[in-house]
Every structure is written in structure tokens, then in C-alpha cells.
Chain A
Amino acid sequence: DVKVTQSSRYLVKRTGEKVFLECVQDMDHENMFWYRQDPGLGLRLIYFSYDVKMKEKGDIPEGYSVSREKKERFSLILESASTNQTSMYLCASSPPKGYTIYFGEGSWLTVV
């Protein structure tokens, strides 16, 4: 059974904290993505990576960074969490031409 696993389902963090969201996939996919999902706004791309150590900014990269040191793992980092980063974060992976896509279960982050 193919899997994208996100490390934390629910997190509550304080303003200014550094937050790490981890994502691991077991399908040997080249592409990995981080999205945030907010009511009425749909899925918005934060960063994506098409290979180890490669990363590309998406539509809303401000306040976020990413790391991909191994093919199976893609981490999202909030350097200094703010309340406007309260959201659901979804990790996804796909092969190069996007013929399949798999999502993690999502991480609900609340910043207080």
C-alpha cells in the first residue's frame, strides 16, 4: 500500500517558534510538494522539489523554507511561526509527469 506519511497530525505552536513538518513517501517519487489549504482558497503551493537537494518556490513561499536531503523525505520549516500560518498543511508526491499524485493525511497547525 503506497504511502505519504506526515509526521504530525495536529500541532499547536506559539508565535515565533520554529516549526518542522516532516513528510516521507515510500514510492520512490521524484516530485514532492507542500501545500496549505484554507477555506475558500483551495490548495496553494508553498514549495516543491523535483529531485534531492532541489527546490522551487511555489505561490506562497514567504515565511517558509524546505529541505530535501533524501529522496523520500521533504521537510517544511516555518522559521518563526505567525498566527496567519494557522492552516492545514498537505504534503504530496508524484512521478515526473504527474500521472499519479498521493497526498498525506495533512497536518493541522494552530499558531497562538
Chain B
Amino acid sequence: GQQLNQSPQSMFIQEGEDVSMNCTSSSIFNTWLWYKQDPGEGPVLLIALYKAGELTSNGRLTAQFGITRKDSFLNISASIPSDVGIYFCAGQNSGGSNYKLTFGKGTLLTVNP
């Protein structure tokens, strides 16, 4: 099946620093999604990307849908302690099984105050 490679696996940064994480796929997706998961909670959608080349911002978060449709990145600017959590990318295809999300393994972000 489709595989998503998400990197880095973990990051330790100082408060105020910017952070970047990315996902690459062996095949094309029509939609890229970025989720954040806090301990004991389900993933919460941060940003959804629907068009190749699209660059979308949500506050301090910026994500881009790669032109090849096989990759996406997420940037967080001026990190704060509450940014701590696991960030997941997910790819989705249109068509008969467009509901299925394929997830990366996550990036664990730790922010030192």
C-alpha cells in the first residue's frame, strides 16, 4: 500500500525557534492534511491542502502541497510551549476510496521554555 515517510521523527527546540517537518510519499495524493495530537487525545486537524503548489497558513503554521503531489511540509514559526505534541501528515485521494487517510508515523515536538 501507500507509504508516507515523515521526518524528523522527533525535534527538541527552544521556545521562539522556528521548526519545519515534512512528508514524502511513494505515490500521488490529491489532498494533504496535517494533524496535531496531544497526549490522551485524538488528532486535531491543523491545515488541509487541496491543490498542488498550494501554500496555506493558519496563524503561526504554514504548510505547502508539493508540486509533484508526493510531498508536503509544515512550518511552525516562533514556537511556544503549547506547540508540544505529535504532528502527523496524512494523504488522501479522491475517487472511490477518497475517505481513506494514509498517515505518516509522526514527528514528536518538544519545546523547551
Instruction: Verify that A and B bind, or say they do not.
Output: no
